[in-house]
Structure formats: structure tokens, C-alpha cells
Structure 1
């Protein structure tokens, strides 16, 4: 896996609506069944990919997905429309499959448990692919990521280049994220070393965690490197990246264990990569550094 470079702060298409993430938490207020992005007219159904679908979907149908719609630029609300890299990816993938993708906003830490109800057939929520997660769900990659922290623009406490640098800081993190798990582990190591503990605050959405920093309730917030630079740039100086990208990982979608859709999504992602649509989407949002060259299925 390639290491991810730091996301660019000078984005090709900044979205003014994303600034709400840093002020009033507007993005977390979206409802279920929000409007999906407009269709990609140049993407057409592909017979080879359709052949990989379960029988009931080979002639069309709907795939219900759970999404986290407050994680720009991966997913966020602009009015009543969900926009970002993931909406464009699932729309294009759906067109290759000849199906409709129907998104529903679900709290991040409730997505994997929601698979048990069989209501959702997949999830686009900026998932990191880890060995622990693949024991519970199947995953298909389509981006690369890593950890990066944001602090207030006037912060002078030094860089956060590793989890060890969290000792003595208050950090606001999204509940259920691996950032939360890693920070908890770092806190234990800090205490073992006789250093001040990490003070962890958990929040339902990333925009709430980010607001905790801008409002002065926390020193820092951690998130995937694929979004950190974007959020810092949109803050207009209220936030800045606190250090380099570390702990690089692949990211992608989650599906129920044994899902017959894994191979279809993998084939669709690789088709988008080969045809250039994938690069077009990532360039539009200024995240070329998060691209991969091949989608892989993690179904062990």
C-alpha cells in the first residue's frame, strides 16, 4: 500500500457550505433519504459488472446504503443534497451496475450493528480498512488515508506527529472511530510513561468534534487525512493541521459478511479507475493524494 501524502490545502473546488461544519454543526442535521447527487451521464451500465450482481439485481433494483453525511469532503449536505467524493463514487458505481443507490444517514458507530437488521446492503462512511474490522464485515477499498490532527489556528503546543504526542492534551473524537481507539491506547501508554493522560471527548459526528476545538472545549481533533486538509482550509484560519500524516491505511466501503455485492463494487471501482472517472472525482475535490491504483476486496 502506498503511503498517503498530506492533502492539499489549496482545493480546486472549495465548497462554502462546508464552513458550517466549523460553526453551527449544520451538516449533522440532515435527514434520512437525503437527495443523492445528479447522475453521471457519461457512465453507462456495464454488462460484465452487472453479471456479478445477485440475481434479484441483475435487471435493476435498489441498493440501500448507510452513510455518514457529516464528513466533508467525503460526504456532506449542501441544502437537501448530499455531495462529496463518496456520493459521486456510489452514483457512478450504481450506474455501472444498472441499479439505484439509496443513501440513508446513520450515526457512524451504529452503521456496522445496523447490518444485523439487514436493512442496509453496504455503507459508504469513510471507513478505514483494518484487520479487526474485516473480521466483522467485508470491505472494498477505493481510497487511502491516515491519521492527522487539527488544532486552533493560534495553538502553540507543538506538532502531533504520532499518537504519543497526545499526552496531556484534550482531544475531541468521533465515537466509534479508530481515532478514538488509538487515542485510548495512547492514553494508557502516556500513563505508563509517567506522562499526563489523554483527555478524550467523544462526539456523535465529526463536525461536533471539530466544533469542540473551534469553541475552545478541546485542544485537538483527529480525523482521516483525506479530510483534515480540506476542513483546515475551509476554516479560514480558525484551524490548522497540527503535524504530518501518520499511521497510513486503506479506506473503503463496508458490507455485511459474505455479501454478494463485494465483487460487483470492486469491479465497478476498478472500472472507474481505468476509465478516468475516478481521477476526475478526486481531482474535483482536491484529494489526488488519497487515490489508489487498484480497488481490492477484503473478505477474509
Structure 2
């Protein structure tokens, strides 16, 4: 009996040790992690020289490395991320997705990995100074994003112009077919910094948290993601990624 107990204890110790080793994939983490994104939202995710780049891309690649797996990317329109995840087209989605009560009813989210929020973008020459100035005017938003519901619920006097891609949203403002755009703060600031003729209104509209979406029927994957996120925050990897893309200290 003592020998049996000793063997059992030894096996448990070995299992615990190997599970804790970096680069050892958990049985619940697939060898190839299928991840979806809408790579049209710089600096979070975008195409650069024929490859995906951005804050979210670097975060996911770092998480996958820590989990002992590799990423197989799927490009899809933002509005298709949650439906595609539920339909098992991929294992996870990262694409500057705000964690909302509505989305949390149908998918799970990993612990928040960055804080953002909605802002309004207008042309530099526009007289618009506040959201109230946009009442009775046209504002472009991307289909499937929180911007749509935010305007509907808080500024019903604004005419929403819903488009499929971020670039369309910004282009409508640029050519004067929309008086402004409501989008995520990182993308708006990036555009204003890199494309002359735009500015972001001073007052941030909301404060949100970005999350990686996973299916509710795979709690082990969510646990693995959370553990990996904690590790890259502890070892400085996350801080380096934040500094690379935002030039600021990690949150």
C-alpha cells in the first residue's frame, strides 16, 4: 500500500512539474490555434507588406508561444467574428473586441488585455467640437461594433451611416459624405497621427475593455489563455508590446 501511494505521489509530482514548464502545451490547447481577426483596424490589427501586424497580432502570437502552440489566422469581417466562433470556424477571436454584456451572453472572454473606448473623429477644418454638435448630422460607424448601438441609444438625432470596413468609415468623413465617425480610440488616434486632415474630439465617449473571445463550451482554453496572459505580463513581454505600439507604459 505504501508503495502504491509513493508511486501515485511521484506521478502527480511529475505531471505538475511538466504542466508548469514553459513551452509545454496543455492537453486542452490545440497544437494549432485557429484565431480570427479583421485586420483593418490599425494599430490593433492591419496588413503591412502582405503580412498581419499590430498590437493584437503581437499579443496573440506571444500568448500562443507561451501556451506552446502556433497560430493559424483567419481573416473575416468584424460582424462575422462572434457568429464564426460559435459555429466552430475557429477557436478564438481577437480584433479590438469590446467586452459587452450582449456578447458575453453568447461567448466567453479571456481577462481584459487592454483598455480603450469610443471617440469621435472629424475633419480638421470641421467646426464640430462636441458630440452634441453632431445632432442632425451624419456619422459613420462600422457594422457590428459598439459604435452602432452607442449612437442609437445615446444620440438618436444623429443619422448613422453604417459601413463594412474602417477604411470606408474614415473615407466618408474625408470626402464630406459624413460629418464624423465614431470608433475605437487607438484607431482614431492612429489615423489622426498618420493621415493629415483629421482630428479626434477631446472628450472620450466611453471607457471599454478589450477581450479575446472564446466559446463557452471550452473553459479549459479560456483558463490557458488567462494563465498565458498573466505570464507575459509578469515577464515583461506584454509591456514591450504596449510600448512598441503605443509608446506608453503597460497598463
Specify the TM-score bucket, using the shorter chain as the normaliser: 0.7 to 0.9
- 1:244 corresponds to 2:214: no
- Kept in 2: contact 1:139–1:255 (CA 8 A): yes
The worse-fitting range, judged by mean Cα deviation, of 274-283 and 223-232 is 223-232
| SS of 2:97 mapped into structure 1 | strand
| SS of 2:206 mapped into structure 1 | strand
Structural mapping, 1:172-251, within 5 Å: 172-188=140-156, 197-236=157-196, 238-251=197-210
- Residue 102 of structure 1: aligned partner: 72
Which structure ranks higher in relative contact order (CA pairs < 8 Å, sequence separation ≥ 6)?
1
Structural mapping, 1:93-132, within 5 Å: 93-132=63-102
Tell me: CA distance 1:287–1:183, structure 2 relative to 1, closer, same or farther (3 Å). Answer: farther
- 1:84 corresponds to 2:43: no
Over residues 75-123 of structure 1, what are the superposed CA-to-partner deviations in whole Å (9 max), with x where a residue is unaligned? Answer: 0001211101011111111111111111111110111111232121000
- Kept in 2: contact 1:166–1:186 (CA 8 A): no
- Residue 148 of structure 1: aligned partner: 119
- Kept in 2: contact 1:226–1:287 (CA 8 A): no
- Alignment length (residue pairs): 232
Over residues 184-209 of structure 1, what are the superposed CA-to-partner deviations in whole Å (9 max), with x where a residue is unaligned? Answer: 11243xxxxxxxx2111111111211
- Residue 192 of structure 1: aligned partner: none
- Kept in 2: contact 1:49–1:268 (CA 8 A): no
- Kept in 2: contact 1:50–1:264 (CA 8 A): no
Separation in structure 1 between the aligned mates of residue 165 and residue 183 of structure 2, nearest angstrom = 11
Gaps of 5+ in 1: 1-44, 189-196, 293-300
Tell me: CA distance 1:109–1:249, structure 2 relative to 1, closer, same or farther (3 Å). Answer: same
- Residue 42 of structure 2: aligned partner: 72
- 1:288 corresponds to 2:248: yes
RMSD of aligned residue pairs (Cα, Å): 2.1
Separation in structure 2 between the aligned mates of residue 223 and residue 54 of structure 1, nearest angstrom = 38
| SS of 2:234 mapped into structure 1 | helix
- Kept in 2: contact 1:179–1:222 (CA 8 A): yes
Q: Which structure features the higher share of helix residues?
A: 2
Regions of 4+ moved over 4 Å: 48-52
Separation in structure 1 between the aligned mates of residue 119 and residue 134 of structure 2, nearest angstrom = 12
- Kept in 1: contact 2:119–2:188 (CA 8 A): yes
- Residue 37 of structure 1: aligned partner: none
Over residues 20-78 of structure 1, what are the superposed CA-to-partner deviations in whole Å (9 max), with x where a residue is unaligned? Answer: xxxxxxxxxxxxxxxxxxxxxxxxx9845767844463xxx101111010000000001
- In the superposition, the TM-score normalised over structure 1's length comes to 0.72
